[in-house]
Structure formats: C-alpha cells, structure tokens
Amino acid sequence: MATISLKDCALGIELGSTRIKAVLIDRSHAPVASGSYDWENKYENGVWTYALSEVQTGLQGAFAALKADVQAKFGLTMTTVGAIGISGMMHGYLPFDRDGKLLAPFRTWRNTITGQAAAELSELFNFNIPQRWSIAHLYQAMLNGEAHVPQIACIETLAAYVHWQLTGERVIGIGEASGMFPIDSTVNAYDAGMLTAFNARAAEIGYPVDIAALLPRILPAGAPAGTLTADGAKLLDPAGDLQPGIPLCPPEGDAGTGMVATNAVAARTGNISAGTSIFLMAVLEHALSGRYEAIDMVTTPTGKPVAMVHCNNCSGEIDAWAGLLKQFCERMGCSCSIYQVLDQFFAEALEGDADCGGLVPFNYLSGEVITGLNSGRPLFVRRPDSRFTLQNFARAQLASAAATLSIGMEILHKENVTLDRLLGHGGYFKAPLAGQTVMAAALNTPVSVMKTAGEGGPWGMAILAAFMKNGSGETLEDYLDAQVFAAQDAVTVDPDPAQVAGYQAFLADYKRALAAEKAAVEAF
C-alpha cells in the first residue's frame, strides 16, 4: 500500500454549482485522493438558491468521501493535513445579522434580478458592476425596500461564509473580493473613492451604512487566514477524527482557483473555466479603453487586474441531453453511466461538420447579460434542410456552450488584448480534444489543456493552501512556474482555418436566431 504524510498534504474544497469536491494533494502538488457530493440549486420565489443546511450536509459528505478514499488508498485516518483552502462559486449575496443569522436566502451568481442596481452603480462608479456581484445585490435590496437591509451586520460570499464557519475569521481572498466590490489594484484594497460614493448614495435612499464594515477583510494569496477551530473541525468531520489547529489560506472564488489551476496569474496569460457556467479570464498588461457591460474587471489572487468575460450558461443543457440519451439507452436494454454517455457525446461532436450542419441550439437555462436576456429558455432551431445527424447535434451543443463567450470576446479582440497562452479546465474540457477543438475555433486562439483539467478549481484551491504553507517568500507566479507546472504536460489545439470559418457560419446563424430565443422567453 502506498504511503503519504498527511502533514505534507494540502486540502482544497470547492463548493461548485453542481458538486462540492475535496481534493488532497501531496508535496509535489499531485492529487492523491478526492471526495465529492452532488447538489443542485433550486429556483424558489424567483431566486436561484441553495439552503445553508445543504452547504453543511455537502461539506460533510465531500469530506467523508475524501476520508474513505484516503483510508482505502493509504490505510490512514484523516486526523490532520498541512493546510486547507476553501473555494466557492463566485460572488452572490449572503447577508447576516450581528448574531450570525442569515437574513435572506442565498442569492447565487446565477440570478439576473439586479439590473437596476447594476446599472445605477456602474454609472455612479464609472466602473462596470455585473448583476451577480454582492454590491449589486445589496443595493438592489435597498432599492426594493427589503425589510432585512437595516439588520445587516455583514455580507459574505459562499467561500467567505464557509471559511468564517471553519475559522471564526471574516476574511476573503482578493480575487473573490473583487466580485463583491471594486478593487484598487495599486493598494490591493476595496476602492476608497467608490466606498465613499456608495455610502453617500445609500444614505440618500434611506440606508446609512459603512459598506467597508459590512465587507470581509481582504487578504492576498499566501497570507495566513486563521486556523481550524474545534467547531470548524466538527463541522467538516462530525465523526471527530479531524483535529483543530490546521492553518487555512484566504478563501477564493472559482474564478481565482481556475486561474491557479491553469497557471494563468501572470500578465498575458488567460484561462477558460467551463462547467455549469463559462468564463474567460485575461490577465491584463494595460487598461481597457473604456467600460463595457460584457467585461467584468476583477483580479488574480494576488491582485493583478483581470478582464473577465462571464456567461451564466455552459454545460447544463449538454448534461440534460446526456441524461435523456441515457434514459433511451436504458429503455433499449443497454446499461451505461452518465459519464459514458457524455464521453461518447463529446466524441461524436468531433465527427460533426464545422458549421454544425445548420443546427442552432440555445443552452440558456438562465439569463445572459451579454445577449440581453434576463431569463432563459433552452431552445433548438434548425432549417428543414439542415444536416440533422447525431454528430452535428452533438457538435452544435458544444458550439452553443461557447457561443455567448465568443460574442463577449469580440470586445477584447478590439481592445488588442494579447494572450501568450490560454488554458482550459473544467468538465467541458475533460473529454479528449472535443471541447478544445470547438473552443479553439470559437475564439480563433490556441487552447491548451493539462492532464489536471478535470480537477479544476478544488485542485487550484489546494495549491493556494500549499503556497501559503510552502511559499517561502516567492511570488505566486514564480511558485506556480517552478514548483507546480514545471513538469506539467499540456495538449494544445491550434485553430484550424476551416474550423474557424465553420464556427463563424454557426455563430452568424446563432446571432440571427437570438430573436427566436428572446421570443421564447417572452412567450413561454
């Protein structure tokens, strides 16, 4: 049986949109064990949400699965690790009173219910405030006159909330903080002028607040962020094996962990995180010429400015069709897992026509700001003479998952943003070559994927925990280059001109058919 030293390991836990996953890495940063818990957001009273009770259940389920994996592989009981890091789906809104009571249901990144607030704050700050940002949710609650607002003592993101429960510390990594409130990257703090402007505007509408006091304290990557308390250890491991005292690094969002997992924290690097949602992060070497509603300005986990193109919808509709195909297979007497169906579906996409045969699906389970939709309806459109094959259908679903991102990326191309490397991670890239091939055509850019692409965010969070423990004064960029990625092999797909031309034909159809999607939202 293989052996490891738990004290030399680091643990990353990420609360993603469809799965909570725990990944344990060894001193070489290689994943050695993992555990997960599947969960699903609910649409209740017009809000996409998760119950906090499910957060606790999911954390415990993922950690229990990890413990079992460690026991099976190494014959060890998980009593400790060298360091822990917590990550979660980005931004959103969790308001608490001074007793730690949640005042309103968790409003996730998926909600598009803060349009008025986002627009007014964007004008006030002369800085794009996306609808999913925490400050947009808070200001919209003020505009709505919601009864809970005067009772708010603090607001958190999901990652910051879980970290708070484990350590008692109200802190947040700067990358995740940049989705709560705009950051001044020259001082790695919330923008002072915008804090003052928000306080004045809030007072004008009857809510005098000190917004800085409501936000968690910012920490950069590598800084110590507290230790696991006895209550925190019990929260993670009700069985009582895990002991308190383990150091934790600053909590980050899935955008930041994606940058780390793809070694995209230096200027002129970028990454695509593609799962339930899809977003591209480009680390900038110069400021953009203006403010764009489709471009979010956030930061790396060390505070460098990043242009982010975020889309709410990616693989959810692919998963839905895979589930339908699995049901059909079972009706035909064939036994297969959903993962086998997905692998075959992606393989079929590689055989499809570059223009998807004239098939146009919309994967909008929720709204998309980039295309002007506050709500979504999955839709499939084709002409009578379209080439309706399994291969083209699969290819069209993958192309649709990249379409809104490619529309948003047109802005960065006009801004002459140059990337030396663009790496993909997340479930969309897990099957060999298929997601890469479509994405390279969609963005007309080489797309690389490392063997750790399927691990994604929780692996990146574990690396951030290891960096805090072992960094020894190095920059995060140097640590990743020298300690983590020096021996990593990547598979790169270059954009083929014929594939790019085919995708542009698909995208032209997609843009024309947006009118049908908008009509579906209005009518259905």
Tens of pLDDT along 319-340?
999 999 999 999 999 999 999 9
Residue 142 amino acid letter: M
Tens of pLDDT along 248-287?
999 999 889 988 988 889 998 898 988 888 989 999 987 7
DSSP H/E element including 74: helix 52-74
β-pairing, 10-15 vs 83-88, is parallel
User: What is the arithmetic mean of pLDDT over 444-465?
Assistant: 84
DSSP H/E element including 448: strand 447-450
What distance in Å separates the CA atoms of residue 508 and residue 524, rounded to the nearest whole number?
Answer: 25
Least confident segment among 178-192, 392-406, 419-433, 451-465: 451-465
> How would you class 245 by CB atoms within 10 Å of its CB: exposed for 0-12, middle for 13-18, buried for 19 or more?
exposed
User: Which residues have C-beta within 8 Å of that of residue 278, sequence separation ≥ 6?
Assistant: 272, 310, 311, 313, 314, 315, 401, 402, 404, 405, 428
Predicted pLDDT of residue 413 = 87
Point out which residues pair with 360 in neighbouring strands: 381
Separation of CA 225 from chain center: 22
Tens of pLDDT along 461-497?
999 999 999 988 899 999 999 999 887 778 999 999 9
Predicted pLDDT of residue 454 = 53
Would you state the torsion angle of the CA atoms of residues 318, 324, 330, 331, taken in this order, to the nearest 10 degrees?
-150
Q: How many CA atoms lie within 13 A of 44 on its CB side?
A: 11
In which residue are the tokens 């919601």 written?
A: 146
Tens of pLDDT along 222-242?
999 999 999 999 999 999 999
β-pairing, 10-15 vs 171-173, is unpaired
User: What is the pLDDT confidence band of residue 113, given thresholds at 50, 70 and 90?
Assistant: very high
Q: Quote the DSSP letter at residue 184.
A: E
pTM over 0.75? The answer is yes
Q: Nearest 5°: CA angle at 7, between 5 and 10?
A: 100
- CATH superfamily, domain 91-156+181-214, is ATPase, nucleotide binding domain (3.30.420.40)
What distance in Å separates the CA atoms of residue 313 and residue 411, rounded to the nearest whole number?
Answer: 19
User: Which residues have C-beta within 8 Å of that of residue 151, sequence separation ≥ 6?
Assistant: 97, 103
User: Which residues have C-beta within 8 Å of that of residue 295, sequence separation ≥ 6?
Assistant: 128, 288, 307, 308, 309, 408, 411, 412
User: What is the pLDDT confidence band of residue 161, given thresholds at 50, 70 and 90?
Assistant: very high
β-pairing, 171-173 vs 217-219, is parallel
Q: In 95-130, which positions are buried (b, 16+ CB within 10 angstroms) versus exposed (e)?
A: bbeeeeeebbbbbbbbbbbbeebbebbbeebeebbb
User: What is the arithmetic mean of pLDDT over 457-461?
Assistant: 93
What distance in Å separates the CA atoms of residue 281 and residue 297, rounded to the nearest whole number?
Answer: 10
User: What is the pLDDT confidence band of residue 419, given thresholds at 50, 70 and 90?
Assistant: confident
User: Which residues have C-beta within 8 Å of that of residue 105, sequence separation ≥ 6?
Assistant: 44, 45, 47, 49, 51
Q: In 190-201, which positions are buried (b, 16+ CB within 10 angstroms) versus exposed (e)?
A: bbeebbebbbeb
DSSP secondary structure string for all residues of 218-229: EE-TTS---B--
Q: Nearest 5°: CA angle at 221, between 216 and 223?
A: 75
User: What is the arithmetic mean of pLDDT over 25-32?
Assistant: 94
Question: Which has the closest alpha carbon to 284: 190, 172, 173, 185?
Answer: 185
Point out which residues pair with 324 in neighbouring strands: none
Considering only CA atoms, give the Rg of the chain: 22
Q: Quote the DSSP letter at residue 251.
A: P
What distance in Å separates the CA atoms of residue 295 and residue 412, rounded to the nearest whole number?
Answer: 8
What distance in Å separates the CA atoms of residue 377 and residue 354, rounded to the nearest whole number?
Answer: 25
Structure tokens at 487: 């021996």
Q: How many CB atoms lie within 10 A of CB 165?
A: 20
Mutual angle of helices 115-125 and 192-204, in 10-degree steps: 130
